[in-house]
A and B are shown apart, each in its own frame.
Chain A
Amino acid sequence: MPWDYSDKVRQLFMDAVAGKAGTHMGEIPDADGVGRHGSIACGDAMEFMFRVEKDADDPHRDRIVESRYRTFGCTSAIASSEALCRLLEERRLTPVEALAIKNADIVDYLDGLPPQKLHCSVMGAEALQAAVVDWARRRGVPSADLGIDPALLEEDEGRIVCRCFNLTEPYIRRKIKELGLSTIDDVTAAIKAGGACTACHHEPGGIQDLLDETWGGRPEPAPARPAAEAQKKAHRTPYQLAKEIERVLEQVVRPRLAADGGDLEIVDIRDRKVFCRLQGVCAGCAGARQTLRFVVEDALREAVDPEITVIEV
């Protein structure tokens, strides 16, 4: 697809990468607030920092006087980062006031972004918010003064809905509300959730469910499996079933896990119960082991038999 970037996006990107005077790519050695958002696995990540002119009496009156970023990402991600710094520079805001800058302000500053690139502007707003939270912690400003529900920040750790981008249920719920997202496409455009394997779109507890629960939609009935397929599956002998499970694990699941540095070892297969051991770098993440188990189980259920359960040994 050809680039749909505004002249503003093009200009900010080219100037920033060329390191022209007045651009903001880089670091501040003694920054007062540092925030990060994104992950290289997701294709973009931003580190944002600012320095304040400290008010001797009241940290609430600190003013942001300098900001910098380092961003791994596409053209619009870098342009969004640059735009954020310029917005801050023009306005000389306090960190709390800066929280009013939303992704829509960044999009406006850029004279628009293609829909599939909106998540780049969201990343900018998220990193700013994270940096302000960091500043508040350092300056002893109570988080209640930021007007952000601290519970929301805590809750972002939770059940992972979008496994490809490692996005949690509380986070997706919060963004659905904050940004007024009403369809799966909106969610993907804004925060990428559901943008890769698409498995989380309509599964129970998936993005559609979260949308329905937020906006009061009615969940669609689960599509019935074709009778012929169920029939075919019922005819397998236990031996064939075991072989089939083994085949799917070896040829579908293991390569998929391997792509993320993980692996799986089959311990035993008893009828529709698959006992296995999960290994790899993912095992380090919070909740990842559980997620891994679901990934394996989903793959087996889809490819072999809906009754299969995976048991981690």
Chain B
Amino acid sequence: MAGRTIYLDNNATTPVASEVLEAMMPYFKGEFFNPGSTYDQARGPRDAVETARERVARMLGCGSKSEVIFTASATEGNNAAIWGTLRANAERRHVVTTAVEHPAVLEVAREAARTGWRVTFLPVDSAGRLDAAALVRAIEKDTAIVSVMYANNETGVVFPVEDLARLVKEVDPAVVFHTDATQVAGKLPIDLSGRLRGVDILTLSGHKLHAPKGVGAMFVRRGTRWRPWVIGGHQERGRRAGTENVPYAVGLGRACELATTHLLEAVRLRRVQQRLERDVLARIPFSRVNGQGAERLPNTTSFAFDYVEGEAILFSLNERGICASSGSACTSGSLDPSHVLKAMGVPFTAAHGSLRISTSAYTADADVDALLESLPGIIEGLRRGSPYWDVARNAPKEGADVFVAGKYREK
């Protein structure tokens, strides 16, 4: 394996920023006190958590810091958003979400469907876009919550959350609108008191924006019909029980502050993204960008390479020190390829060969150069070995998919 690690998997997690780590350190030992305690020494940690809350609120552009709740993860936030809304609106029995959500929403919605709620999963088109009209039509008299992710973790496709939230409120202001903004925080500006006024609950995770794993935040707009999900303590104004994770909350606060400067990097990342996509599409035949044509995050590109398998691509990249990810079946616990690519109707000849590249403010242009140097050769090598590939023509064989599982004889 090459000596240097080239990290291009920032949608999975990001390194903790030095500034963040530094801000956290005092709260492990010296200022370890429980912020809920009465003695003077607790004031330091208590103030630190409130300062952090203010920083998160500022990044989200929300009116009051009291609308921000610290959580342990976006997964917790998503569970709390959906179950907390369903519990507070017991007479409403319907949930609307999309087919391409992260499992932290998708599985919660499925669980709701198994336990007595009706759930609508909205489809997406081949570019991964959501049809706003379909969302409007999906809302029923007793819809409790609409949960739509802000940007997709696999493809980077951004949903027009601003419009969607507004439309939902037009149909029925009592429907709670939740958005999982995990992949957007730190990558696009968020303005909850401005254009995102229709969003009632927004959830995010710390470790996608250079804070550590194990901390997240949720925004719950004042007046939202929602009940706490984690109970058993007065912390976070009774909305999320459990002793405050002081150093991690501080870290998230600092990361949100840094995110403002990181947003300036978006222009560079967009340029890097364009170069990456242009080069790959030009140099590798039968390749595509999933979600092309849709609005996408500046840091995320999902490629699909016909007739090669994603796990083998990842392994080959990793042998050269490059870290990326794939929606291939072989890389997940399940044997099924990505539900996102399936929902977009990406043909299975390509869905198995997907490769996700995700950058961050800390990604150097040279990292992408290294990828561009290795990738065409890797794809070529794997295609040389693919039974579906005609090496001479450098194109798929005619009628390539003739293999039938579990049968000896040819069709």
Contact = CB atoms under 8 A, between A and B. Distances in A.
B385 A71 contact: yes
B343 A74 contact: no
B190 interface: no
A251 B336 contact: no
A251 to B, nearest CB: 6
A14 B319 contact: yes
A196 B409 CA distance: 25
B348 interface: yes
B404 interface: yes
B110 to A, nearest CB: 11
A156 B116 contact: no
A74 B309 contact: yes
Given A40-B388, A197-B336, A75 B312 contact: yes
Nearest to A161: B406
Interface of A: 1, 3, 5, 10, 13-14, 16-19, 25-26, 35-47, 69-75, 77-78, 116-117, 126, 129-130, 133, 153, 156-157, 164-168, 171-172, 188, 191-192, 195-197, 228-229, 232, 247, 251-252, 255, 258-260, 303
B229 interface: no
Contact of A73 (B120, B312, B337, B402): B312
A47 B316 contact: no
A255 B120 contact: no
B381 interface: yes
A130 B408 contact: yes
B405 A39 contact: yes
5 contacts: A41-B401, A72-B385, A72-B387, A75-B311, A75-B312
Main secondary structure of the interface of B (DSSP, over half): loop
Given A25-B385, A40-B400, A157-B407, 6 more contacts: A39-B405, A71-B387, A72-B387, A72-B388, A165-B335, A258-B345
Nearest to A175: B406
Contacts of A18: 381
Interface string B374-411: 00001001101111110000000000111111111110
The 7 A-B residue pairs whose C-beta atoms are closest, nearest first, are: A195-B335, A74-B311, A47-B387, A196-B336, A74-B330, A171-B406, A70-B387
B312 A74 contact: yes
B199 interface: no
Given A43-B330, A44-B309, A153-B409, A166 B404 contact: yes
A72 B120 contact: no
A158 B409 CA distance: 14
Given A171-B406, A195-B336, A255-B123, A40 B348 contact: yes
Contacts of B349: 40
Nearest to A14: B319
B48 to A, nearest CB: 35
A43 B405 contact: no
A185 to B, nearest CB: 12
A1 B314 CA distance: 12
A243 B345 CA distance: 26
B335 A43 contact: yes
B116 A229 contact: yes
Interface of B: 99, 113, 116, 120-123, 307-312, 315-316, 318-319, 328-331, 333-337, 342-343, 345, 348-349, 352, 378, 381-382, 384-389, 400-410
A16 B378 CA distance: 12
B309 A77 contact: yes
Contacts of B328: 43, 74
B408 A35 contact: yes
Contacts of B330: 43-44, 73-74, 117
Nearest to B402: A36
Contact of B381 (A17, A74, A153, A188): A17
B164 to A, nearest CB: 17
B316 A71 contact: no
B188 to A, nearest CB: 28
A64 to B, nearest CB: 18
A123 to B, nearest CB: 9
Contact of A156 (B333, B408, B410): B408
Contact of B309 (A47, A72, A229, A259): A72
Contact of B315 (A75, A164, A192, A232): A75
Nearest to A119: B335
Contacts of B318: 3
A313 B180 CA distance: 43
Given A39-B403, A41-B348, A70-B385, A195 B309 contact: no
Contacts of A157: 407
Given A40-B307, A251-B120, A45 B403 contact: yes
B116 A232 contact: yes
A139 to B, nearest CB: 17
A39 B408 contact: no
Given A37-B405, A44-B309, A166-B406, A259 B343 contact: yes
B5 to A, nearest CB: 14
A156 B406 contact: yes
A41 B352 CA distance: 8
A195 B334 contact: yes
Contacts of B378: 17
Nearest to B385: A25
Contacts of B385: 16-17, 25-26, 69-72, 78
Contact of B382 (A10, A17, A172): A17
B381 A166 contact: no
A5 B330 CA distance: 13
